[in-house]
Structure 1
Amino acid sequence: MASVLAVCVVRTLRPDSGRSGVTAIDKGPVDGRVKVNDYGLYADVQADRKHHGGLDKAVYVYAQEDIDFWAAELGRDIPFGFFGENLRTEGIDVNGARVGERWSIGSEVIVEVTSPRIPCQTFSRWMGDDGDGWVKRFAQERRPGPYLRVVTRGSIGVGDEINVLEVPADAPTIRSLAI
């Protein structure tokens, strides 16, 4: 069964040397249920809304299976929210999801897969790399995680079941669109 392991929102805006001067990548898990609206999770923000957030990038999802890969590669634990994800999942191949695929999360929320995460320099700096080594490494593994559009608002929480409702057969997968 696919499910939500963690629901994460920004803990604090942090200074960043990028264009916006701050980053909201520092996300952490919250207790209880969290409201989800068209622009994402209640109490979450995006510092650079041109590239993150908005209607088509309202929620970012990353799978525990991919985190386990990175934890082994990097030789460290990767806590919930550390990759900037809003939802940490298990039991669903988020990178095999097709653009336009719809999921129900819990009993209320319906989302639609829109695009893969494009790793950026902020993510690289967050990982301790001032160059583009992390961006290239992350992209080459083709484990970007998808952004989701909110189709039906509601609330979500840890343990909510994720069900695939519909899959457009001819649409590209998140993995195939990863750069």
Structure 2
Amino acid sequence: MSSYSISAILTGRAVRFRAADEQSAIAKVPVDGAVRVTFLGLAGDEQADAKHHGGPDKALHHYAADHYPVWDAELGGHGLLASPGAFGENIATTGLTEGDVWLGDRFRLGSALIEVSHGRQPCWKLGHRFGVTDMAARIVRNGRCGWYYRVIEEGEVAPGDALIRDVRGLAAWPIDRLFHVVIGGGHKRAGDALRELADLPVLAQAWRDRAAQLAG
């Protein structure tokens, strides 16, 4: 088992984002105490766009704090990167990145059990949040995407708890490879891999559907 120190557990409320009729809960803030981990995510965490965010396969979003210094250098310094939550993540850690995390990995998050379900596909809201119009395109190119968990067993987590890997998933499908094939353009020479992904029950249904579509 591997253990990782949690930098922050974060939740957010849906608030006005860009226009009067647009809301987002991408601005997450660290919690001070214990929070319930449910099948739909952290208690008190909201999603303004239920079509594209939230649900059992996107219950928790994890983004590696390891990427923050790289982004800061690339963007020439940015205030959002001074603390966790810049990418709308619920979990922030160091020492764990997309190359280290496999599809189907299971972790103990406090007393909850969670499972890696797919990578995070970047959307336009990140560009608006950072004031960088091609932010989503940069993530597609560099693969610093983050990933999602589904909740297998509900529980509770508090700041200071560790994230403990309990079961290893599919060695053939680390998140960086999965993201490259499904989102980053790697599908063009990956017909067999796409057909494999389309039939993997552990992969989130939305990405299984996308894999099947890309496979033709």
State the Cα distance separating 1:92 from its structure 2 match.
2.2
1:52-67 pair list within 5 angstroms: 52-67=53-68
1:151-162 pair list within 5 angstroms: 151-162=152-163
Indicate whether 1:85 and 2:83 are aligned.
no
Following the alignment from structure 1 to structure 2, what is the Cα–Cα distance between the partners of residues 134 and 125?
9
Aligned to 2:107, which of 103, 106, 128? 103
Greater shift, 28-37 or 89-98, is seen at 89-98
Q: Secondary structure at the match of 1:151?
A: strand
- Hey, what does 1:22 align to over in structure 2? 23
State the Cα distance separating 1:96 from its structure 2 match.
2.7
State the Cα distance separating 1:3 from its structure 2 match.
1.8
Larger radius of gyration: 2
Indicate whether 1:167 and 2:168 are aligned.
yes
Please give the per-residue CA displacement for 1:97-137, whole angstroms capped at 9, x wherever unaligned.
1111111122x1110001111110111111113x4x11111
- Hey, what does 1:145 align to over in structure 2? 146
How many equivalent pairs are there?
Answer: 175
- Hey, what does 2:212 align to over in structure 1? none
Q: Structure 1: which 4+ aligned runs deviate by more than 6 Å?
A: none
Following the alignment from structure 2 to structure 1, what is the Cα–Cα distance between the partners of residues 162 and 32?
17
Structure with the bigger RCO (C-alpha within 8 Å, sep 6+) is: 1
Structure 2 counterpart of 1:4, which letter?
Answer: I
- Hey, what does 1:126 align to over in structure 2? 129
State the Cα distance separating 1:165 from its structure 2 match.
1.3
CA contact (8 A) 1:16 1:122 kept: no
Q: Percent identity?
A: 35
Following the alignment from structure 1 to structure 2, what is the Cα–Cα distance between the partners of residues 33 and 151?
19
Structure showing the higher helix proportion among its residues: 2
Greater shift, 53-62 or 158-167, is seen at 158-167
State the Cα distance separating 1:71 from its structure 2 match.
2.1
Following the alignment from structure 2 to structure 1, what is the Cα–Cα distance between the partners of residues 34 and 42?
10
State the Cα distance separating 1:170 from its structure 2 match.
4.7
Structure showing the higher strand proportion among its residues: 1
- Hey, what does 1:32 align to over in structure 2? 33
State the Cα distance separating 1:93 from its structure 2 match.
2.8
Structure 2: unaligned runs, 5 residues or longer: 185-216
Following the alignment from structure 1 to structure 2, what is the Cα–Cα distance between the partners of residues 87 and 35?
14
- Hey, what does 2:9 align to over in structure 1? 7
Structure 2 counterpart of 1:144, which letter?
Answer: C
Following the alignment from structure 1 to structure 2, what is the Cα–Cα distance between the partners of residues 138 and 17?
25
Following the alignment from structure 1 to structure 2, what is the Cα–Cα distance between the partners of residues 17 and 125?
11
Following the alignment from structure 2 to structure 1, what is the Cα–Cα distance between the partners of residues 56 and 145?
19
Greater shift, 72-81 or 153-162, is seen at 72-81
Following the alignment from structure 1 to structure 2, what is the Cα–Cα distance between the partners of residues 22 and 146?
22
CA contact (8 A) 1:61 1:88 kept: yes
Q: Secondary structure at the match of 1:83?
A: coil
